[in-house]
Amino acid sequence: METVNVPEPEESLPSTSISNDQGLLQWISTVDHKQIGILYLLMSVLFLLLGGVAALLIRVQLSVPNNNFLSPEMYNQLFTMHGTTMVFLVMTPAILGFSVYFVPLMIGANDLAFPRMNAFSLWIGLFGGMLLYFSFLAGGAPDAGWFNYAPLNQRAYSQSSGIDYYCIGLLLVGIGTVGTSINLIVTIIYYRAKGMSLRKLPVFVWMILINSFLIVAAFPPLNAALSMLLLDRQLQTHFFNNTSGGSPIVWQHLFWSFGHPEVYILILPSFGILSEVFQVYSRKPIFGYSFIVGSGIAIALLAFGVWVHHMFAVGLGLTVYSYFAASSMLIGVPTGVKVFNWLGTMWGGSLRFTTSMLFAMAFLVEFTIGGLSGVAFAIVPIDWQLTDSYFVVAHLHYVFVGGSLFGLMAGLFYWYPKMSGKMISEKLGKWFFWLFVIGFNMTFFIQHILGIKGMPRRVYTYPDLPGYTWMNMLSTIGGFLMSLSFLLLFYILHKSYKIGKPAGNDPWDAYTLEWTVSSPPKIRNFTELPPIYSYRAFRDLKENAKNNKHGK
């Protein structure tokens, strides 16, 4: 039998050709954190395309009233898959991709603590995602929404095997995510460069450390709930089945005790990215390092004390609501602290309006809108009025897209030269930025009004009520504009990779250790490290050199 030798990696960015040893097989077998980081990002792009197509089909269906473009059953499957895909298979892998790529580089390590576990986590996550999509071929995708409420998730209401695939797929994704988080925690705690105490950790690394603890704490309730649901559906147990003594409310508690921290799991890494981006493009140290890190810790701790605000319409009683309304408002405080930290960082800085910086600045606006509509939901009567309406859809997209995704975009444009070795065309990048910002706001801002006017979410069509038609049409046009902007983004990334200008080690005059090495970094990240005097180790090195030159 012919044997195939697994190729030893020679470079960080081998081709994807199947004709040579450093091609496809090298990517599949890699345990290098940089390649795995890129694979995570590619996984995210793959599912972004799938989730994006689902979103477009939804918007086409909703573009006009009384539309029959999609059947109600298919519509249910599409909005469920869209939400599940975007949360678990797009945002999470994108965050993990940036984390596993840049955390070792920013702390002066040559890889993660457990490289094989890193690879395992990636592939098991991808496999989970593929299983979820296989459900389309196996009789029907899950159709009870991304939070999959009981009793809709029971076999009596969802007879296809879609929800079984949802359970197994998300269990696998969860195992992968927890695995990577443990890997990141161990790496950050044990593999930092000599002299890099936690006080000198770059803000992004701090946020990933906090986020990893959050993941390790938040995913077990979800995985327990998924296992229990699978038992309900396959072995007729009674955890969530109200007709046989189970409690659908327990599903909601278990899901949201994961689901609310998940919101912060998706936003904290973006907070870290933005903290790096604002510093570098403002040419100033972050304003209030300890507050920005401290507020990250406060957010992570408070995240577990507010989940009941997702259940204000359940009927848990006014006493419960009063407490959780108060705690939900409280969590806005550390988030607000961060926004002021970033504004303070820009204040008096020498700003450079790169595409990355534009995304960071736009984040401040979009995320604040999402945050304010979130605080509105902490007010119980408003929640009762608006729950399950398009106001919720608008709010969550302003948080997930206007918050998390804008942050990730800022990170993409900031770090792309490091990952690819090529510069992105700023001109095209700005085209993308404006197209995306206009498309995003056109799609979702109007949905606040739709929600206030009473349009329910997750209903496959609507009657021709005053205002509904033009607002939905506008939202659909915005959705297509966003899609167009993504096509432009892929073109920009491809073009830059092929014919972009070489980036050099440090194209942004940046502050952290990843910029001390070549772009893209070699397989072995570091052969030497500068002394670490602060969380801006590379900047210190450059400043010292400058001072020495001028004899200071």
Partner 1 sequence: METIFSQWKFNLGASLLFILLITFYFYLTKGKLKMGAAFYFFGCFLMLVLSLSPLHFIGMHYLLSAYMVMHILLLLICGPFILMGIPKETPNTSIKKTSVFFFNYPWMGWLAGIGLMWFWHIPKIFDAAFPKSQSLFGFYPLAFLHMLTLLLAGIFFAWPILGPHKELRAHPLVGLVYLASACVGCSILGLFLTFAPPTLYHHYFMADTFGFASTIKHNWGIDRAMDQQMAGLMMWVPCCFIYLSGCMMLFFKYINAKEKPIVIENNKLERRYS
- The residues binding partner 1 (CB under 8 A) are 194-195, 197-199, 217, 253, 289-290, 293-294, 297-298, 301-302, 304-305, 317, 319-320, 323-324, 326-327, 330, 516, 528-533, 541-542, 544-545, 548-549
Nearer Cβ to partner 1 (340/480): 340
Comparing CB distances to partner 1, the nearer of 440 and 535 is 535
The residue (of 194 and 498) whose beta carbon lies closer to partner 1 is 194
Task: Say how far apart CA 482 and CA 90 lie, in whole Å.
Answer: 16
Q: Which is nearer to partner 1, 495 or 542 (CB)?
A: 542
Single out the residue of 482, 407, 469, 433 nearest to residue 51, CA to CA.
Answer: 482
DSSP characters over 134-160: HTTTTT----STTTT-TTTTSTTT--S
Q: What is the CA radius of gyration of the chain?
A: 23
CB of 137 to partner 1, least distance (A): 40
Beta bridge partners of 304: none
For residues 326 and 343, which CB has a smaller minimum distance to partner 1 in the complex?
Answer: 326
**Shortest distance in whole angstroms from residue 183 CB to partner 1:** 19
Distances (CA, A) of 93 to 115, 158, 168, 480: 17, 28, 18, 24
Shortest distance (Å) from residue 1 CB to partner 1:
49
| Residue 551 CB, nearest approach to partner 1 (Å) | 12
Q: How many helices (H) and strands (E) does the chain have?
A: 18, 0
- To the nearest whole angstrom, how small is the minimum distance from the Cβ of residue 200 to partner 1? 8
Q: Rounded distance, CA 382 to CA 384, Å?
A: 5
Least Å distance, CB 262 to partner 1, is 17
CB-based contact 202:106 (threshold 8 Å): yes
Residue 33 CB, nearest approach to partner 1 (Å): 21
User: Which CB sits closer to partner 1, 199 or 494?
Assistant: 199
What 8-state DSSP symbol labels residue 520?
S
For residue 527, give the DSSP letter. S
Name the residue nearer to partner 1 (CB basis): 288 or 349: 288
Six token digits for residue 432: 């993308």
CA angle 39, 41, 45 (to 5 degrees): 110
CA–CA distance, 26 with 5 (Å, rounded to integer): 10
DSSP 37-52: HHHHHHHHHHHHHHHH
Is the Cβ of residue 300 or residue 410 nearer to partner 1 in the bound state?
Answer: 300
Tokens of 48: 């972004």
Q: Nearer Cβ to partner 1, position 186 or 449? A: 186
Return the number of the residue (464 or 528) whose C-beta is nearest partner 1.
528
Taking the C-alpha atoms of residue 425 and residue 492, their distance in angstroms, rounded to an integer, is 7
Handedness of CA 278, 281, 282, 286 (dihedral sign): positive
CA distance 291 to 274: 15
Shortest reach from residue 333's CB to partner 1, in Å: 11
Residues 6+ apart with CB under 8 A from 134: 165
> How deeply is 548 buried, as exposed, middle or buried, from its count of CB atoms within 10 A (0-12, 13-18, 19+)?
exposed
Min dist CB 270 to partner 1, Å, is 21
Q: Are 406 and 270 in contact (CB under 8 A)?
A: yes
Task: Tell me whether residue 453 or residue 542 sits nearer to partner 1 (CB atom).
Answer: 542
**Residue 248: is the preceding peptide bond cis (ω within 30°)?**
no
| CB 261, min distance to partner 1, A | 12
Backbone dihedral angles phi then psi of residue 150, each to the nearest 5 degrees: -80, 150
In angstroms, what is the minimal distance from the CB of 533 to partner 1?
7
Position 290, amino acid = S
Q: Do the beta carbons of residue 409 and residue 361 sit within 8 Å? A: no
Q: Which is nearer to partner 1, 489 or 529 (CB)?
A: 529
Q: Any idea what the Cα angle at residue 461 is, between residues 455 and 467, rounded to 5°?
A: 45
CB of 290 vs partner 1, minimal distance in Å: 4
